[in-house]
Amino acid sequence: MAAHRGWLYDRFVAGMTSGWYREVLTRLPARTRLLDVGVGTGAALVRCADLIRGRELSVVGIDVDADYLARCERAVQRAGLTGVSPRLESVYEHGDGPYDAAYFSASLMLLPDPVAAVRRVAGLLRPGGTLYATQTFQLRRSRLVEWGKPLIRYVTTIDFGRVTYEDDFRACLAAAGVELTELHTMAATRYHAYRLAVAQPVRAAAEKEEPVVEKVSDTA
């Protein structure tokens, strides 16, 4: 069953999220120390092995799913990514650091308390550190989608979480004490937008005093 769950995750999730990882990793300076919150099976991260090696990145990937993490450890070992360290650990208990950056790959709004998670991670960043999050946003309010999306896990075993709207996401970041500095649309359909959010703790964002930049990909 564990192998089946991991295969489904790699087949239906990693193919999309690997592009999201690449979008984030290409922004990181060389020798960045990154906290990956919700690393899952590690398949998406491993598909970006060229960037991890080329930029000499150090990645700590945490997840609370033991089956996924075991698969992640095997994938990292096969790829020879000595700079990647998978850990079976909750974001609410993680105390390592400091980190130059942190990344939630579609994992933030899955968490039981997203505000507490962002606040925890922000506290682990170095001064001037950056928080990244990729997220699928529902563009139109839909009671049917809100009701149906959480039920998908009972068919696929994959938790896609609840429907996320942009205003709820922004409110989460604000309540956690981080400031959104960029919201980049990587792709979009009629009903959904796949976006990269870039944020900093208020103490760092206040020093820069830069407005939020909204970008739309030419290929969206």
**Where in the chain are the domains?**
2-216
Q: Residue 14: its pLDDT value, please?
A: 58
Peptide bond preceding 98 in cis form (omega within 30 of 0): yes
Q: Which CATH architecture has domain 2-216?
A: 3-Layer(aba) Sandwich (3.40)
**Among 35, 81, 43, 79, which residue's Cα sits nearest to residue 61?**
35
pLDDT in tens, 136-169: 898 766 554 444 444 344 444 444 456 678 999 9
Task: Give the full edge-to-edge strand order of the sheet including 178-188.
Answer: 84-88, 58-63, 33-37, 99-105, 125-138, 192-201, 178-188, 213-216
Q: Residue 215: its pLDDT value, please?
A: 59
More confident residue, 201 or 206: 201
pTM score: 0.82
User: Rounded to an integer, what distance in angstroms lies between the CA atom of residue 13 and that of residue 147?
Assistant: 21
